[in-house]
């Protein structure tokens, strides 16, 4: 009975959010498992199961809230602008250098974990230069997609947050082991960017440009435009050199804390955000403006994570997840059990074309993780494997990710053309990182 209800709950969630889009994800995460619990006779335990589930995901929600606000503030004060200018000066009119510079800039800017702001910064800064030297916009969208996808698995990004919430794990369980494969993936993305740039160079040659500007606007008949009162990433908050030096030091300290896991990330980001506010925006009115400007992103992600707590709390507390896993164990041959992490990694990326990230991480990943655990494997490996596929390369080409259409709208590139151009390279990223993960023991056979 529990297994049947569990399968029905997952299928209902997938159907109503991915295929018919009748429910929003938060609504489906809350109401569908509650309905299953009522049918299964667990009504009396609903309050306790939901509370336990939400308590477990609360640290993830808190971390995401403060991380988004922190990096949004860093973007607003122009922390990354000097690096962008230097990369653009280095690239000059060389298509190969500009392509590599595009990858480097995206890898840096994507630290904020927000695909929308990443695409606004990179496209508005780089598209005018691409047009001036004759490079195709689809090259820009492809390289940005590869680099942003790689950085999408930082703990305050959507995929890792979903994986941590769905599996009740920390960044130390899922993300930290992926640092090695991420480094390999970054080298791969830079190499691909160089190759694509060289191919463009053979087509158009190399030009000599005047000093590149990062405040130009995307042009073209269908290109979206940022408000004229804004610069490359929105309104800039003027700060002094001392404040900017403080921002650099504080951000580096956060990275060290992340890598060494010195304190829980939600604590680190809460303290860092408070300190950054005091230094950069001491007035309450300015702080309120920041909250209003970026509060929407925070609300959406935090709501999704807390709603996921309802699903995971009910599915775990009722025993539905265990029952599903036991059923799958009876179906999977023992010889194939050890391949589950690799299969997960290699299939996750193509699934982005037919399934939303929420449906995958909350509906599929917990079942695969519990099945792996039943065979004696480490369920955290499933979370890492999922990130190697859907996390790193899925969202910048998925038709279910709103940020994808922002990237394409700013660049005036059609979705189908973008997908055809970069899909093979994106899947190559997954393959390369999966091999690195196997080599480094992040996932095992």
| Number of neighbouring beta carbons within 10 Å of residue 232 | 24
pLDDT for the residue numbered 411: 84
pLDDT at 266 over 70: yes
| 370-401 pLDDT tens trace | 888 888 889 999 999 999 887 566 667 776 66
Provide mean pLDDT across the span 58-86.
Answer: 81
Which position has the higher pLDDT, 205 or 285?
Answer: 285
pLDDT of residue 389: 81
41-51 per-position pLDDT tens digit: 899 889 999 99
pLDDT for res 183: 94
Read off the pLDDT of each residue in 23-38 and give the average, rounded to a whole number. Answer: 87
pLDDT at 110 over 90: no
Cα angle 105, 113, 229 (rounded to 5 degrees) comes to 70
pLDDT of amino acid 115: 74
**Residues near 420 by beta carbon (within 8 Å), at least 6 away in sequence:** none
Asked if pLDDT for residue 125 goes beyond 70, the answer is yes
- How many angstroms separate the CA atoms of 110 and 25, rounded? 24
pLDDT digits (tens, 9 = 90+) for 284-341: 888 888 888 878 778 877 887 788 888 888 888 888 877 876 776 677 676 676 788 9
Taking the C-alpha atoms of residue 362 and residue 163, their distance in angstroms, rounded to an integer, is: 8
Nearest 5°: the CA angle 94, 99, 104 is 120
Query: Rounded mean pLDDT of the chain?
Result: 81
Q: What is the mean pLDDT of residues 150-174?
A: 85
Model pTM score: 0.72
pLDDT at 353 over 70: no
Mean pLDDT of 261-288: 88
- In this prediction, residue 235 carries a pLDDT of 55
pLDDT band at 231 (very low <50, low <70, confident <90, very high): very low
């Amino acid at each position: 009975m529990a297994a049947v209800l569990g399968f029905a709950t997952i299928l209902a969630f997938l159907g109503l959010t991915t295929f018919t889009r009748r429910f929003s994800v938060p609504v489906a995460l809350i109401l569908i498992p509650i309905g299953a619990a009522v049918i299964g006779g667990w009504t009396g335990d609903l309050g306790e199961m939901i509370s336990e589930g939400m308590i477990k995901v609360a640290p993830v929600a808190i971390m995401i809230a403060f991380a988004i606000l922190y990096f949004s503030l860093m973007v607003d004060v122009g922390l990354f602008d000097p690096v962008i200018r230097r990369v653009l000066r280095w690239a000059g009119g060389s298509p190969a250098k500009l392509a590599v510079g595009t990858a480097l800039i995206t890898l840096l800017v994507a630290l904020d974990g927000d695909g929308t702001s990443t695409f606004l910064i990179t496209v508005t800064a780089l598209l005018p230069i691409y047009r001036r030297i004759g490079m195709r916009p689809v090259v820009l969208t492809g390289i940005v997609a590869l680099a942003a996808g790689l950085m999408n698995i930082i703990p305050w990004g959507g995929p890792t947050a979903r994986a941590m919430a769905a599996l009740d794990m920390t960044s130390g369980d899922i993300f930290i082991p992926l640092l090695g494969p991420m480094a390999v993936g970054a080298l791969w993305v830079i190499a691909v960017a160089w190759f694509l740039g060289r191919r463009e160079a053979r087509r158009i040659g190399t030009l000599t440009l005047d000093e590149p500007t990062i405040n130009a606007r995307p042009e073209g008949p269908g290109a979206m435009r940022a408000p004229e009162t804004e610069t490359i990433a929105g309104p800039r908050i003027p700060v002094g050199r001392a404040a900017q030096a403080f921002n650099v030091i504080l951000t580096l300290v956060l990275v060290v804390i992340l890598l060494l896991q010195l304190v829980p990330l939600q604590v680190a980001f809460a303290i860092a955000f408070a300190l950054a506010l005091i230094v950069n925006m001491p007035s309450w009115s300015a702080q309120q403006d920041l909250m209003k400007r970026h509060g929407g992103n925070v609300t959406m992600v935090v709501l999704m994570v807390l709603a996921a707590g309802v699903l995971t709390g009910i599915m775990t507390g009722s025993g539905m997840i265990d029952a599903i896993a036991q059923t799958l164990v009876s179906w999977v041959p023992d010889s194939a059990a050890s391949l589950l992490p690799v299969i997960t990694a290699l299939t996750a990326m193509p699934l982005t074309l037919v399934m939303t990230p929420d449906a995958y991480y909350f509906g599929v990943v917990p079942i695969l993780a519990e099945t792996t655990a039943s065979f004696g494997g480490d369920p955290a490996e499933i979370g890492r494997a999922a990130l190697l596929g859907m996390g790193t390369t899925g969202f910048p080409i998925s038709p279910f990710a709103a940020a994808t259409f922002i990237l394409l709208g700013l660049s005036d590139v059609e979705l189908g053309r973008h997908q055809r151009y970069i899909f093979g390279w994106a899947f190559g990223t997954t393959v390369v990182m999966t091999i690195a993960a196997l080599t480094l023991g992040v996932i095992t056979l």
